[in-house]
Structure 1
Amino acid sequence: MYVTTRLGRWFYEERGEAQRPNDPAIVLLHALLFDGSAWDEQIGPLSQLGRVVVIDGPGHGKSEVPPPFSLDDHARALVDALDALGIFKALLVGVSWGGMVAMRVALDNPMRIVGLGLIDTTADAQTRIRRVKDRVMSTVFRTIGLPPSIVEKQIAPMLFAPKTLRERPELAERVYSRVSGFPRLGVSRAVKAVSVERQSILDKVRAISCPTLVVCGREDASAPPARSEAIVNRLPRATMRLIDDAGHASPIEQPEAVNAVLVPFVREHLTSEVQPQV
């Protein structure tokens, strides 16, 4: 199914139903270089709690190639999608890129967001070195695609913990297979928005007053636990959980451990009551 936004048509899937008429929807937002299938291990248990909507980000999965955009543009487009889907209140759960967008939506629409699940993400700007590397990667991908050697040597170690790569090398292979099927221009524009041009919102997130669960892989090389701690230290109603033997893709690497903290959080806060900003 598709929903129209200012950044083009986005593919989405739904599972479950609201338990009460005014219950918020549970909206799942994936990381860069992934698609909605990254949530396969979470959809089942979460759909037992309510309506779950899984969205492919712009230029990823089955969604259309977007025009050039920023993270703020993406946040506004997500509100377009929520409006079109009749979702007036939501509990947003996002990994990395998805978490960045979720925080921006919560800042601009505090009365619509009942809770946030922020997984392996950051509110900081990208480091200078990573901006340079990702700018190069964006250009390479746009022109020739993504060589397997780059996935193996540069991207996979930033996504997965060493133990994951040793014991489940097929996960890195899936990244290559998946991204090879995405539109080159769409991925290039997403990399530019997420990494190259990302601005810090650390000075703003204090305004997010909804309950927030911050989850981070203990071995996350892309957004280390210190970045999650920086978020938690600024949010008035945030708690943090570290996931052992996980890197930047903890819901895929350690789904049971992530579900053990995420599902109770969603169950507790899946309510139509939203705390106003203070």
Structure 2
Amino acid sequence: MPTTLILLPGLVCDSATWGPQIQALSPRLRCHVADYGLCDSINAMAQHVLHTAPSQTFALAGHSMGGRVALEVLRLAPHRVHHLALLDTGTHPLPAGDAGARERAGRMALLQTAERKGMRAMAALWAKPMVHPAHHGTPVFEAVLDMLARSSPEQYAAQINALLNRPDAAPVLPTIRCPTLVLTGREDLWSPPEAHERMAAAIAGAQLCIVEQCGHMSMLEQPEVVNAAFESWLFK
């Protein structure tokens, strides 16, 4: 049975994004949430995770940007990861042409908002399409805003740089040999189910979970479903 679970947050997220999972799993696992500091590349984040891991081998779960960091950890040190979960994430690099230019412009516009008006103002713009409409105006949505507001424009800039220069992680998928969970929300507009179906198909024996009535912040939006998926992934 796993003894250490390293949890990798997404863009300017922190341990709060994994709160329900930590509460459910802490009696049986040592849960460690990575802090990327001002690392400004996916590789640097993965190297930091490996250097600060509290044990030599571990289970690893990454959400959104954290899923990309998890795949880079697998590329660098596959022997250290014995269970892997990829939540609401992707593998593709920045697209070429107009699509890439639109993504870059959108991210930089949000960064300018963070620098000029503060992180909470940025969060109010960024989080609305990320969270299922059923959660808008609820404590879940406020918790997401509070979490993003705890970060800084400097961290946001570093992590945006990492995402705009993200590597193509698709070649890592067929090399994965450990029990793997691939999970996303049915209504995740940024990391849609079809992409996760392709990821799961590329990983031998992967467990695919599509969470209903759920956007991008699956661990907070539908914690019971995610916790059940983690239970099956880790202990069965």
Fold conserved between structures, TM > 0.5 = yes
Aligned to 2:72: 104
Are 2:46 and 2:73, in contact at CA under 8 Å, matched by a contact in 1?
yes
Aligned to 2:231: 263
Given the superposition, is the C-alpha separation of residues 176 and 29 from structure 1 closer, same or farther in structure 2, using an over 3 Å criterion? same
Given the superposition, is the C-alpha separation of residues 221 and 176 from structure 1 closer, same or farther in structure 2, using an over 3 Å criterion? same
Aligned to 1:241: 209
Tell me the distance in 2 between the aligned counterparts of 1:228 and 1:249. 15
Tell me the distance in 2 between the aligned counterparts of 1:53 and 1:147. 26
Aligned to 1:48: 27
Are 2:119 and 2:151, in contact at CA under 8 Å, matched by a contact in 1?
no
Amino acid in the other structure paired with 1:192: N
Tell me the distance in 1 between the aligned counterparts of 2:160 and 2:139. 23
1:227 to 195, 205, 212: 195
Instruction: Give runs of ≥4 in structure 1 deviating > 6 Å.
Output: none
The answer to which of 138-147 and 71-80 deviates more is: 138-147
CA-based RMSD of the aligned residues comes to 2.0
1:137 to 105, 110, 118: 110
Tell me the distance in 2 between the aligned counterparts of 1:72 and 1:95. 16
Counterparts of 1:99-248 in structure 2 under 5 Å?
A: 99-127=67-95, 128=100, 129-146=102-119, 148=121, 150-152=122-124, 154-165=125-136, 168-194=137-163, 196-248=164-216
Query: Highest CA radius of gyration, 1 or 2?
Result: 1
| Unaligned runs of at least 5 residues, structure 2 | none
Q: Deviations over 1:85-110 (max 9, x none)?
A: 3x100100111111111111012111
Are 1:92 and 1:116, in contact at CA under 8 Å, matched by a contact in 2?
yes
| Unaligned runs of at least 5 residues, structure 1 | 1-18, 59-65, 269-278
Q: Deviations over 1:53-96 (max 9, x none)?
A: 123332xxxxxxx25x21011111111111xx3x1001001111
Given the superposition, is the C-alpha separation of residues 51 and 178 from structure 1 closer, same or farther in structure 2, using an over 3 Å criterion? closer
Identical aligned pairs, as a percentage?
26
Q: Deviations over 1:94-143 (max 9, x none)?
A: 11111111111012111110010111111112452222201222243234
Are 1:95 and 1:118, in contact at CA under 8 Å, matched by a contact in 2?
yes
Structure whose residues are more often helix by fraction: 2
1:79 to 50, 55, 78: 50
